[in-house]
Amino acid sequence: MDAHVSALEQRGFAWVREALPSAAEALDRTVELIAARCALDETETPRVIGDFIVPPPEGSTTRDFQTLHFDFGVPLEPEAPRDLARYTALHVPRGTQPVATTRLVPIHALLSQRDWPPRHTLVQRFISYGQTHGTWEGEIGYVEGSLARIVEAAAGLPLLPSVKSEPEFLCGMEFDSLRAEAAFFERHAVPLEGVETEIALNTGELLIFDNLSLAHGRRGTRQPGELCQWVFGDRSLDVATQRAARERILQAFDTEPTLSARQPRPDSRTTTHP
């Protein structure tokens, strides 16, 4: 088995550390690796549902960190068809050299550090939180992108700003520093230390990760046009299949993981510039 496909299966992410000559070749490599990974489970290969330059070339420099999140959000109580992201790929194009690192957190390694209520209780807490604090949208249901909000909802202790009562609040702005975010997870008995990995991509390199197994964020700033980002998934996914995807999130709260939820726990945070 290709080492990168094995890494996607075993760790949830693959780091292609060769300098790929173009974004087109990086995308081709991504499609190849994701297809090979899906073949192991005999599942359909997802297609590109998001193609971005991050930050936008006409935009401005980002703030010095990004909170942990899931691209396109995860369905906590879906009630209508909508898009679901399964994999994300990041590529550094020629002519750029990032200084920021990508943060990856395997959600089972994080959440299994403490006990949680049974799954039916978690689902009820998700519904309640979505209706009072989260981004519940009428007949669409509740899809959440913030890892911190998922943890807070599961804990049944909503303290972060409510996007319902404060509609001007911007998602992703729950914390003003990495230290504040780390303190939040520490308070909930799921510390990031020991489970978080940091990847420092160099020019031409490629990072692919499972968007339903790992939350991701950033340490450091990014300049306009610094990254190519591709999101692979399904368009207008039916409610039943979204609920099956939710099971993967619920499995992450189990003390003993099922095979599909199991992720190796990193020995320590790893920041690497080869």
Domains annotated on the chain, with CATH = 3-251 (3.60.130)
pLDDT of residue 168: 79
Give per-residue pLDDT as tens, 71-110: 999 999 999 999 999 999 999 999 988 999 999 999 999 9
* Cβ(174)–Cβ(189) below 8 Å: no
- The Cα 262–Cα 265 span in angstroms is 9
pTM for this structure?
0.92
pLDDT of residue 180: 97
Give the DSSP letter string of 121-189. HHHHHHHHHHHHTS--BTTTEEEEEEHHHHHHHHHT---SPPTTT-TTPPTT-S-SSHHHHHHHHHHTT
Range 19-42 average pLDDT: 97
Give the DSSP letter string of 1-50. --HHHHHHHHHSEEEE-S--S-HHHHHHHHHHHHHHHHHHHT-PPPEEEE
Give per-residue pLDDT as tens, 150-177: 999 999 999 999 987 887 788 889 999 9
- Residues forming a β-bridge with 214: 106
Range 243-258 average pLDDT: 86
Residue corresponding to tokens 């999101």: 231
pLDDT of residue 241: 97
Percent of the chain with pLDDT strictly greater than 70: 93
Range 27-39 average pLDDT: 98
Poorest-pLDDT segment among 150-154, 214-218, 266-270:
266-270
- The Cα 110–Cα 188 span in angstroms is 11
pLDDT of residue 59: 93
